[in-house]
Amino acid sequence: MRIDVLSIFPSYFDGLTLSLLGKAQDAGLIDLRVRDLRDWAFDRHRTVDDTPYGGGAGMVMKPEPWGLALDEVAGSAPAPDAERPTIIFPSPAGEVFTQKTARQLATREHLVFGCGRYEGIDERVFEYAADLGEVRLISLGDYVLNGGEVATMAMIEAIGRLIPGVVGNPESLVEESHEDGLLEYPSYTKPASWRERAVPEILLSGNHGAIAAWRREQQLVRTRARRPDLLADDEAPSR
Chain residues binding ligand ABV by CB under 6 A are 90-92, 116, 139-140, 143-145, 147-148, 151
**What's the min distance (Å) between Cβ of 25 and ligand ABV?**
24
Smallest Cα–Cα separation from 138: which of 108, 101, 112, 181? 101
SS3 at position 50: strand
- Nearest CB to ligand ABV, comparing residues 114 and 133: 114
- Nearest CB to ligand ABV, comparing residues 52 and 75: 52
Smallest Cα–Cα separation from 17: which of 156, 179, 224, 164? 156
DSSP-assigned letters across all residues of 83-152 = GSPEEEEEEEEEEEP-HHHHHHHTT-SEEEEE---TT-B-THHHHHHTTTSEEEEEESSSS--SSSHHHH
The length of the chain, given as a count of residues: 239
- Nearest CB to ligand ABV, comparing residues 139 and 218: 139
Cα separation of 110 and 121, whole Å? 22
**What's the min distance (Å) between Cβ of 230 and ligand ABV?**
21
**What's the min distance (Å) between Cβ of 8 and ligand ABV?**
12
**What's the min distance (Å) between Cβ of 7 and ligand ABV?**
11
